Structure 1
Amino acid sequence: MSRDFKNIGKPDAAPSPLMGYLFSTVAGLAVGLLAAFLVYVYKIQPAAEAPQPVTLPAPEVAAPQAEAQAKPEVPEPTFDFYTILPERDVNISEWIEETPAANAPVTETAAEADGNLYIFQVGSFEEFEAADQLKARLALIGIKADIQRVVINGQETTHRVRVGPYQEQSRIQEIRERLLDNNIEFMLLRLNAD
Structure 2
Amino acid sequence: MFGLMAGLLVGLLVAVLVAFYITKAPVPFVSKGTRPAAPAQPPDPANAPDPNRSLYGRDGPAGAPSASGPSATQPAPAPVPQATRDPLGDFLASQNVDKTRKGAQPSAPPAAAPSQAPAPAPGASGTYFLQVGAYRVIEDAEALKAKLAFMGFEARLETADVAAGTVHRVRVGPFTRLDDMNRTRARLAENGIEAAVVKK
Give the TM-score, by structure 1 length: 0.40
| More helix per residue | 1
Q: Which has the larger radius of gyration?
A: 1
Give the TM-score, by structure 2 length: 0.39
